[in-house]
Amino acid sequence: MTRVLISDDLSPRAAAIFEERGIQVDQKVGLKKEELIAIIGQYDGLAIRSATKVTADVLAAATNLKVVGRAGIGVDNVDIAAATARGVCVMNTPFGNSITTAEHAIAMMFALARELPAADRSTQAGKWEKNRFMGVELYGKTLGVIGCGNIGGIVAERALGLKMRVAAYDPFLSPERAVEIGVDKVELDELFRRADFITLHTPLTDATRGIIDAKAIAKMKPGVRIINCARGGLVVEADLKEALDSGHVAGAALDVFAVEPAKDNPLFGHERLVATPHLGASTLEAQENVALQVAEQMSDFLIDGAVTNALNMPSVTAEEAPRLRPYMKLAEQLGSFAGQLTETGLKKIVIEYEGHVAGLNTRPLTAIALKGLLGPLMDSVNMVNAPIVAKERNIDVAEVKHERSGDYQTLMRVSVTTDKYTRDVAGTLFADSKPRIVGVKGIRVEGELGPHILYVTNRDTPGFIGKLGMTLGNAGINIATFALGRAAPGEDAVSLIEVDQAIPDSVVAQIQALPQVVQVKPLRFA
C-alpha cells in the first residue's frame, strides 16, 4: 500500500485528502534527523513545511521515496540535487500563499513609510510624539521590484493601485509581460538608481545571494527603504546595518533573516528597522491552501503519475497523465531499444515527434526516453535524473517536433550518435494503444517488443531465416513473433524475433557465427 509521512505541522485536511485517495498516512511531527532516517525507508511520499531538513543522508535512507512535497514556496530545506540523483520528485506549492506574502510586503511598506511600529510603541508608553514620526506618502513614489514572478507581480499590481510607479528587475520577465502588468522592465543598476522603495521577491540562488550588499546600496538614492519578505540571504545584514546607521537607507522591513530562527541579530533594536518572524505565509487561508495543495499534488503523482509544480522534472497534469501513459511506454521502449544497442560513447541524442504526439506535452516523453536509453548504460537512472545525467556527461540532447503528417498518425523516433555511428529507432501506437516498432536504422520493420527480443542485422541472402530458425530450434528456444525488414534486395536486413525465454550466450554466439550475420543482440524489455 502507498504510504506518506507528514513530518511537519499541516492542516488536518491534508491527511484526510491522502486517506480519501486510498493512501496510508502517518503524521509524526518534530522528528530528529536520526529518527527520520530510521523510518523514511517505509514511505513513498514525504510532506513537509520548513522544519524538516531533507538532506542527502535522509534521501540515502529513503529507499522507497518517490516524492517530497513542500507546503510552501521555498525549498531551501531540501537537497534538490541529491533528490534528483536518487530519482525523487520535489514539488512545492508556489501559488497557495502568494497573495498572503504579497500583502505582507505591502503591509511592511506601509509600516516603513509611516513608522507605525515605533509610533505604536511610543504612544502606548504614554508619550505623544506627534512631531517625531514624520512619514512619507507612497503616492507617486517608485517601487523597485526585484523578482517579478508570481508574488512580485501581485506586489506590483497592488502598488500600481496605490498610484505608485513600478520598476521591475527580472531576467525572466518578458517585455510583453511587463507591458501587460504595467511595470517598467529595467536593469538592476537602473532600479537602484530610481527606486524610493525596494522589495525583494526572488529565490535564493548563487546569482541572487547577497544581491543587496554595500556595493548595491551605494548605487541607491539616499533615503531609500528596503523590504525583504523573500529569503534572508538576499541581504548582507552587516552592510544594511551600516547603511541604516549612516541614514543612507531610511528604513528596512525584514520578515526573513540569514539565520533563522533569528533570536540574536545585529540589526535588532535599530530604530529604523521593522522586523517580523517570517510571517509572509502566516495566514489561516494560506496555511490551509498550501496544505491542501501539496496533498492533492502528491496524491495525483503517486496514483496517476501527474506532476504539478515540480522543481526537478517536467509537469504532467492529471488530465494529461492518462493520455500520455501509452506514449510514455512507447518512449521508454524506444529509448531502451537504442540504449541496449549502444556499446560506445554517446555524443548526441535526438528525439523526434511527428503527427498527433507532436501536439502533446512532450517534455515528460523526452525525459522517459532518456531514462530508457541511459538505463542500460549506467546505474540508477530514472525519469527524474536522466536529463541531468545526460548533461553531466556532455551528451547533446535535442527535441524536434514535426508538423508534417507521415505514414502514421503518430510517430516517435530516437536517434543516437556515438563516436562510431548514428542509429535510429522509430515507433508508433496502434489502435489498441500498444507500442510498435516501425523502423530501425531507416529500415521498415514492424513488431511488438515482448520481454525477450533477439535483434539481428544481416545481409539479405537466401536461406538466412531457415538457418536462424534452426539454430534457435536446436537450442529449444520457441519463436513467438518474427518481424523482418530490409533496405533493398541483397542489402542489410533487420529482424526482431520475440522468443519465450532468455537466450543463452552460447546460442547468441552460434547466431553471430552465421555467415550472413552482421550483428546480433538479445534485448530485454519490462
**Of residues 242 and 430, more confidently modeled:** 242
**Per-residue pLDDT tens over the stretch 59-73:** 999 999 999 999 987
Residue 396 has pLDDT above 80, yes or no: yes
Q: Which of 83-97, 382-396, 465-479 has the lowest mean pLDDT?
A: 382-396
Residue 490 has pLDDT above 90, yes or no: no
Which range in 183-187, 347-351, 385-389 is most confidently predicted, on average pLDDT? 183-187
pLDDT for the residue numbered 25: 96
- Could you give the percent of the chain with pLDDT greater than 70? 98
pLDDT for the residue numbered 379: 59
**Of residues 410 and 38, more confidently modeled:** 38
- Could you give the percent of the chain with pLDDT greater than 90? 57
Which residues, 6 or more positions from 367, have their beta carbon under 8 angstroms from its beta carbon?
313, 314, 383, 384, 386, 387
Residue 391 has pLDDT above 90, yes or no: no
**Per-residue pLDDT tens over the stretch 15-30:** 999 999 999 999 999 9
Q: How far apart are CA 431 and CA 351, in angstroms?
A: 23
Q: Using DSSP, how many helices (H) and how many strands (E) does the chain show?
A: 17, 22
Put simply, whether the predicted model's pTM sits higher than 0.85 gets the answer: no
Reported confidence tier of residue 280, pLDDT bands at 50, 70, 90: confident
Which residues, 6 or more positions from 171, have their beta carbon under 8 angstroms from its beta carbon?
none
Residue 489 has pLDDT above 90, yes or no: no
Residue 274 has pLDDT above 90, yes or no: yes
Catalytic residues: 231, 260, 278
Q: Are strands 45-48 and 3-6 parallel, antiparallel or unpaired?
A: parallel
Mean pLDDT of all residues in 105-120: 95
Using CA atoms, how far residue 9 sits from 14, 89, 257, 304, 371, in Å, is 10, 21, 22, 26, 35
Q: Which of 324-333, 396-405, 475-484 has the lowest mean pLDDT?
A: 396-405
Could you tell me the three cell numbers for 406? 507521415
pLDDT for the residue numbered 414: 93
Query: Nearest CA to 20 among 288, 290, 296?
Result: 296
Residue 131 has pLDDT above 90, yes or no: no
Q: Are 525 and 450 in contact (CB under 8 A)?
A: yes
Domains (range + CATH), the chain: 3-95+285-304 (3.40.50.720), 98-275 (3.40.50.720), 317-440 (3.30.1330.90), 450-526 (3.30.70.260)
Reported confidence tier of residue 37, pLDDT bands at 50, 70, 90: very high
Mean pLDDT of all residues in 172-177: 85
Query: Nearest CA to 197 among 266, 253, 275?
Result: 253
Could you tell me the three cell numbers for 178? 511587463
**Per-residue pLDDT tens over the stretch 221-240:** 999 999 999 999 999 999 99
Using CA atoms, how far residue 28 sits from 31, 40, 43, 50, in Å, is 7, 11, 12, 15
**Per-residue pLDDT tens over the stretch 188-225:** 999 999 999 999 998 887 889 999 999 999 999 999 99
Mean pLDDT of the chain: 90
Residue 432 has pLDDT above 70, yes or no: no
pLDDT for the residue numbered 388: 77
Reported confidence tier of residue 161, pLDDT bands at 50, 70, 90: very high
Residue 124 has pLDDT above 90, yes or no: yes
